[in-house]
Chains A and B, each alone.
Chain A
Amino acid sequence: MMGARVKRLEDPRLLRGQASFVDDLRLPGVLHAAILRSSHAHARIRKIDLSAVRAAPGVVDTFCLTDVWQSPPTIPVLVGVPSLVPCQQHPLAGEVVRYVGEPLAVVVALDRALAEDALDVAEVDYDPLPGLGDADQALAAGSQLLHDTAPGNVAARWTQGFGDVKAAFKEADHVVHERLRMQRYSGVPLETRGILASPDSVSGELTIWASGQWPHTARGLTAAALGMDERRVRCILPDVGGGFGVKCDLYPEDILIPLAATRLNRPVKWIEDRREHFLSSVHSREMTFDLELALKSDGTILGMRGQIISDQGAYVRTLGMVNASLAITGLPGPYNIKSFFAEVVCALTNKSPTSTYRGAGAPEGTYARERLLDIAGHQIGIDPAELRLKNLLPPEALPYSTRLVAVEGPITYDSGDFPAALRQALKKANYTEFRKAQSQARSEGRLRGVGMCVYVQQAGLGPFESAEVRVDEDGNVNVVSGAAPQGQGTGTVLAQIVADQLEVPLERVSVSFGDTARIPFGVGTYASRNAVMAGSAALGAAQRVREKAIQVAAHLFEAGPGDVEWKDGVARIVGVPGKGYTLAELAEAARPGGNRPPGMEPGLEARYYFEKKQSPFSYGVHVAEVEVERETGDVKIRRYVVVNDCGRMINPMIVEGQIAGGIAQGAGGALLEELVYDEQGQLLTASLFDYQLPTSLDLPSIEISHLVSPSDLNPLGVKGVGEGGAIGAHAAVTNAVADAIAHTGARVRQTPLRPAVVWKLMNERSVQA
């Protein structure tokens, strides 16, 4: 069971079209909401006139900020930094709007079409203000202030470092400097956000189904924003069509839709449309890096320093500082960099707020470092693979503390063998032969390139996760988890763990998630934490159930627990074949009033919280091979090799699925995807025509092999893997394209590398010093 490629338990109902995503849920009398959104990037709101909206056909309710709140709630920052100034968002704009798409009012109508018709007749008086289209503009002296509380439009700034960076750069033989940019892009799950809120007339509770990632946290935050007792709010996760971190926030709508439902005492549903999604679901990744490396002639890295500018958008919401923190602390990566100093500046701009998306700062920091390594290798004449092997931390150095502390805790690599992984990947990718093939191809006018990336990933964020395992009197095992998966197959993984522990067939185990009424505490699914946290919690609960079962059996046998052995789901006296007690029988015995040991709590069940602050770090090596077409700048990824180490794997098929999916997103970032604003702060990429997602033709088959460095930080020895693909691929593919066109003198310093961009780079012939 453990380590087995079992088919997913989730699949049959998904395959049959019997899933229940939030828009599939049906409640009698449900009303439909639409959101009036700002069409200006920065403006004073002189007036919002909803009188025509109120009178529009089918409209049941409409409200703006002042209709509801004297003192509006602010969306809190859960992950902050000491230097963070207040620049928080209200659920609706009040006097000022700060990004196109910012909510201004809510309309509730009999159906969505009528609600949208009503939006058309809303009248808003805007007094446009100068807008800040990018971070450089925002940070320039004398720029328009977005928030009175944020001088210079800086939301936060801080530095991190270790060692003597000044000395390193003094004694360096070479200093390599580059400015690198990663574009604004985001997760774009196929299911947009959606919320169904319904007051329950029997219990007096407010039930909220949302396409989210953290129902327990959402419950607490929503209740607080609405001034309700948390216990009167129930959050349930339905099936979720992809999350990728972007559904992990407290959005304005997360407050507005439940509010609308309580105002009307009726169920209200809001399903984000695709255009709204692009405008107002979190954006991510947009950072510039001004970085330097100090190296000895033999390629040893003495130090790294630089500055990151992170574009936060117009507000900082719940997880707003995570990306910046993981980017700056992710810069040194798995390398033995002896000194380091960097500053990160989080700039406020008139764009949609940025927050976590798969990797949440790690792809950004990794890209900058891995790109700089290639540039350095090129500059000082050392092969990029050799340069990495020279500087990677050797396995005996682990566990290794980087001496850096991110918002989520200290960065300590617990286990792994980075050089072995790189060697294995290079061998698999036929790296040395490729260099020969590359020159041959170049002489024929074909531009082939290879790029690599070695990354580490925090994989198993604490502080806890919950699980309850309960056996019923049919012997079926029910697991409730505080996790909140969005397609990762966590149900199957937890079932494998529990089935393994109880030694029952997988089909006997059912798993449910994400319901605040079923388990009182939970954290959710993000930051690659399921296997580690939810898995360890399920293990702990299952172990306790097994122990309890043995104790009940011992009682029934009138023996000591030490005389009882557990095998294949049956308890027997050691050495006595024949009569045994099944789980079903033991569950029955354990019921209240049943025949159980005196003093034992009734029920063959256990609830367990796995609490751990320190997370394991998984890592990987990606090697991408591309071909660039000279005349068009088109890039095709021809081959993609991965060596991945996420410790022990519970279901390698699911692990590989996560890797492949992440790679598609990272490759999309390297080559295709970008959220583009014009000078007026209008989003130009607000549809799938303009925001280009990778298709089946954009990727080759990924060749994945595994190393296994178990983690000591949890009883399963597992590490997370979900984000790794996205972290590795953006850097590896970018490096591959740079390698393919290096001979033209092209300087590849930003992404996405769309055809026109690649063509321009090849033809600009700017030669690097």
Chain B
Amino acid sequence: MRPAPFEYAVAADVDQAIGLLGQFGDEAKVLAGGQSLVPMLNFRLVRPRYLIDIGRIKGLDFVSLVDGGLHIGALTRQRTVERSDLVRDVCPLLAEAIKHVGHQQTRNRGTIGGSLAHADPAAELPAVVTALDARLRLKSIAGERVLQAREFFQGSLTTALRPNELLVAVEIPSWPIGTGSAFCEYSRRQGDFAIVGAAAVMQREANGRVARLGIALIGAGDRPFDATSIATDWLIGQIPDEANCKAAAEEIGASVEPDSDIHAPADYRKHLATVLAGRALLCAAQRAVIPGRERGNGH
């Protein structure tokens, strides 16, 4: 299995990358870590005429604290995020989820941006950034634009990226210190894509009630299923407990419309969606630090 012929260019910097995309974008693929793209090239599932290697670009590999939130450059290796103290402290959901992404060997090369731009419905990171209400920064010769995660993921392997656009960063907004989070995935073997997964964040107030939350599901449709509004209806302003987390999860399970495939039929995915959403919500609730009390998973 060898790739079909293509022509190749290395972009030395972002300007050169977007210049090349401006010129060749319609027939080009962007090569970052290659962990998602190269298998597709080898199977000849994609046959780009041009391959633009952005792996040498400096300045897109960063994890920064900005206004209490986390900005991560698109070329940041998954391994870097896995080992980052900053991520662990500021965004424990991401720190927890990243361990489920592939294997060490693929995290050593794979990038955050690469996984997001690839948008596999069974991938972990798209759901995580959706739950966190993150934004994605895109750049082209026409300028920059910033999209919310839920606008960015448009279908299986489909994002809002235009052919001439480069994803340069993901910007996770500030979730206050003490926000609880949980990442619950079921896959048959460690390192597999999820069959179904749930990523949840929950901030609770001093009275224990839910002030803010986010939850998104993996493997429950052709893109991350943003279940935030469903969970919000059940939980915002409430004291989260087994009963209301379960009720929210049941409505989530009833709402998702997954497809069947050889790994799992649709009814099983719906069932798992309920189970995992419930676990994630409850666990995030339990981990959330209620101001004035001890507990939590972040600090």
Chain A positions within 8 Å of B, measured between CB atoms, are 112-113, 116-117, 120, 273-275, 631-634, 672, 676, 684-685, 687, 689-690, 692, 694-695, 697-698, 754-756, 759-760
User: Given that A632-B186, A684-B262, A692-B188 are contacting pairs, would A112 and B268 also be in contact in the complex, using a CB cutoff of 8 Å?
Assistant: no
Q: Does B1 contact A (CB under 8 A)?
A: yes
Contacts of B193 in A (CB 8 A): 689
A-side contacts of B186, CB under 8 Å: 632, 634, 755
B264 in contact with A756 (CB, 8 Å): yes
Please state if B262 and A697 are interface contacts (CB–CB under 8 Å): no
Q: Note all chain B residues with C-beta closer than 8 A to A274.
A: 1
Partner of A760 from B1, B2, B43, B268 at Cβ < 8 Å: B268
Given A632-B186, A694-B189, A695-B190, 10 other A-B residues pairs in contact with their CB atoms under 8 A:
A275-B1, A634-B188, A676-B262, A684-B262, A685-B262, A692-B189, A695-B191, A755-B186, A755-B264, A756-B268
Q: B265 at interface (Cβ–Cβ under 8 A)?
A: yes
- Whether A698 contacts B4 by the Cβ 8 Å rule is no
How near does chain B come to A696, taking the closest CB pair, in angstroms?
9
Given contacts A275-B43, A632-B275, contact A690 B4 (CB under 8 A): no
Residues of B within 8 Å of A275, CB to CB, are: 1, 43
CB–CB B2/A698 < 8 A? no
Residues of A with C-beta under 8 A to B191: 695
Q: Which partner residue on chain A sits nearest B268 by CB separation?
A: A756
Contacts of A690 in B (CB 8 A): 262-263
Interface of B is mostly: loop
Closest chain-A Cβ to B29's Cβ sits at a distance in Å of 17
Task: For the complex, give the distance between the alpha carbons of A631 and B191 in Å.
Answer: 20
Contact with A along B153-197 (1 / 0, CB 8 A): 000000000000000000000000000000000101111110100
Chain B residues contacting A631 (CB-CB under 8 Å) are: 275
**Roughly how many angstroms separate A164 CA and B265 CA in the complex, as a whole number?**
46
Does any Cβ of A come within 8 Å of B68's Cβ?
Answer: no
- Measured between C-beta atoms, what is the minimum distance from A52 to chain B in Å? 15
What CA separation (Å) do A345 and B195 show in the bound complex? 38
4 nearest CB pairs, A to B: A113-B2, A756-B268, A273-B1, A631-B275
CB atoms of A116 and B189 under 8 A apart: no
B262 proximity list for chain A (CB < 8 A): 676, 684-685, 690
Contact between A756 and B190, CB atoms less than 8 A apart:
no
Across the interface, name the chain B residue whose C-beta is closest to A633. Answer: B268
Shortest CB-to-CB span from B37 to chain A, Å, is 15
* CB-defined contacts of B5 to chain A, threshold 8 Å: 113, 117
How many interface contacts (CB-CB < 8 Å) are there between A and B? Answer: 55
A380 → chain B closest CB, angstroms: 33
From residue B187, how far is it (CB to closest CB) to chain A in Å? 9
Residues of A within 8 A of B43 (CB): 275, 687
Task: Report the minimum CB–CB distance from B288 to chain A (whole Å).
Answer: 23
Among B177-236, those with CB < 8 Å from A are 186, 188-193, 195
- Residues of A near B190 (CB, < 8 A) are 695, 697
| Interface hub of B2, B44, B195 (most chain A Cβ within 10 A) | B2
A residues within 8 A CB of B188?
A: 634, 672, 692, 754-755
Main SS at interface, chain A: loop
Closest to B42 in A: A273
| Known contacts A676-B262, A687-B43, A760-B268: A120-B4 contact under CB 8 Å | yes
Q: Flag whether B271 is at the interface (Cβ < 8 A).
A: yes
Determine the chain A residues whose CB is within 8 A of the CB of B192 once the complex forms: 692
* Cα A120 to Cα B188 with chains together (Å): 35
A631→B246 CA distance, assembly (Å): 14
Nearest chain B CB to A35 CB, angstrom units: 13
Q: Give the distance in Å from the alpha carbon of A689 to the alpha carbon of B5 in the complex.
A: 24
Contact residues of B with A, CB < 8 Å? 1-5, 43-44, 186, 188-193, 195, 262-265, 268, 271-272, 275
Task: Give the docked Cα–Cα distance between A274 and B43 (Å).
Answer: 10
Cβ B195 vs Cβ A755 within 8 A: yes
Q: A632-B275, A634-B188, A698-B189 are in contact. Are A116 and B264 (CB under 8 A)?
A: no
Q: How far is the CA of A481 from the CA of B162 in the complex (A)?
A: 63
Contacts of A672 in B (CB 8 A): 188-189
| CA A692 to CA B262, docked complex, whole Å | 11
A64 to B90, CA, bound (A): 63
In the complex, what residues of A have CB within 8 A of residue B2's CB?
Answer: 112-113, 116
A113 → chain B, closest Cβ, in Å?
A: 4
Task: Let me know if A756 and B265 touch, CB within 8 A.
Answer: yes
Expressed in whole angstroms, the Cα–Cα distance for A633 and B263 within the complex equals 13
Q: What are 24 A-B interface contacts by the 8 Å CB criterion? A: A113-B2, A116-B2, A117-B4, A273-B1, A274-B1, A275-B43, A631-B275, A632-B272, A632-B275, A634-B186, A676-B262, A685-B262, A690-B262, A692-B189, A692-B192, A695-B190, A697-B189, A698-B189, A755-B264, A756-B263, A756-B264, A756-B265, A759-B268, A759-B271
Per the bound structure, the CA–CA distance linking A659 and B222 in Å amounts to: 42
- Min Cβ gap B25→A in Å is 24
How close is B41's CB to chain A, nearest CB, in angstroms? 11
Q: How far is the CA of A690 from the CA of B264 in the complex (A)?
A: 11
- Inter-chain CA distance A698–B263, complex, in Å, is 17
Min Cβ gap A108→B in Å is 15
Whose C-beta in chain B lies nearest to the C-beta of A754?
A: B188
Chain A residues with Cβ below 8 Å from B1 are 116, 273-275
Residue of B whose beta carbon sits closest to that of A695: B189
| Closest residue on chain A to residue B266 by CB atoms | A756
B3 surroundings in chain A (CB, below 8 A): 113
Min C-beta distance of B8 to chain A, whole Å: 14
A698 to B187, CA, bound (A): 12
Within the complex, the shortest CB–CB distance from B21 to chain A, in Å, comes to 26
B198, chain A: closest CB distance, angstroms: 13
- A687 contacts which chain B residues (CB < 8 A)? 43
How many Å lie between the Cα of A633 and that of B271 in the bound state? 11
Cβ contacts under 8 Å, B268 to chain A:
633, 755-756, 759-760
> Taking the nearest CB of chain B, how far is it from the CB of A438, in angstroms?
24
B275: chain A residues within 8 A (beta carbon) = 631-632
Cβ of A697: which chain B residues have Cβ within 8 Å of it?
Answer: 189-190
Closest to A57 in B: B5
Q: How far apart sit A106 and B275, CA to CA, in the bound complex (Å)?
A: 51
A108 to B16, CA, bound (A): 40
**B165 CB to nearest A CB, Å:** 28
B119 to chain A, nearest CB (A): 17
Nearest CB to that of A671 among chain B residues? B188
The distance in angstroms between the C-alpha atoms of A631 and B270, with both chains bound, is 12
Specify the chain A residue showing the minimal Cβ separation from B189: A695
Q: Report chain B residues within 8 Å CB of A117.
A: 4-5
Give A674's nearest chain B residue, CB to CB. Answer: B262
| A698→B191 CA distance, assembly (Å) | 12
CB neighbours of A273 from chain B (8 A): 1
* Least distance between B134 CB and chain A CB atoms (Å): 27
A117 to B189, CA, bound (A): 35
Interfacial chain B residues near A120, Cβ < 8 Å:
4, 44
| Complex: A689 Cα to B264 Cα, angstroms | 14
| Chain B min CB distance to A750 (Å) | 15
Q: How far is the CB of B89 from chain A (nearest CB, A)?
A: 29
Q: What CA separation (Å) do A634 and B268 show in the bound complex?
A: 12
| Chain A residues whose CB sits within 8 angstroms of the CB of B271 once the complex forms | 759
Give the distance to chain B from A200, nearest Cβ to Cβ, in Å. Answer: 29
CA–CA, A676 to B260, complex, Å? 14
CB distance from B162 to the nearest CB of A (A): 29
A676 to chain B: closest residue by CB? B262
Closest chain-A Cβ to B39's Cβ sits at a distance in Å of 8
Complex alpha-carbon distance, A676 and B268, angstroms: 19
Please give, as numbers and ranges, the residues of chain B lying within 8 Å of A685 by CB-CB distance. Answer: 262
Question: What separation, in Å, do the CA atoms of A116 and B268 have in the docked complex?
Answer: 39
Contacts of B263 in A (CB 8 A): 690, 756
By beta carbon, the residue of chain B nearest A273 is B1
Q: Looking at the assembled complex, report how far the CB atom of A615 sits from the nearest CB atom of chain B, in whole angstroms.
A: 37
* Residues of chain A with a CB closer than 8 A to B195's CB: 755
| Cα(A116)–Cα(B5), bound, Å | 10
Return the chain A residue nearest B274 by Cβ: A631
Separation of A471 and B268 alpha carbons in the complex (Å): 66
Roughly how many angstroms separate A116 CA and B44 CA in the complex, as a whole number?
10
Alpha-carbon gap, A258 to B240, bound state (A): 71
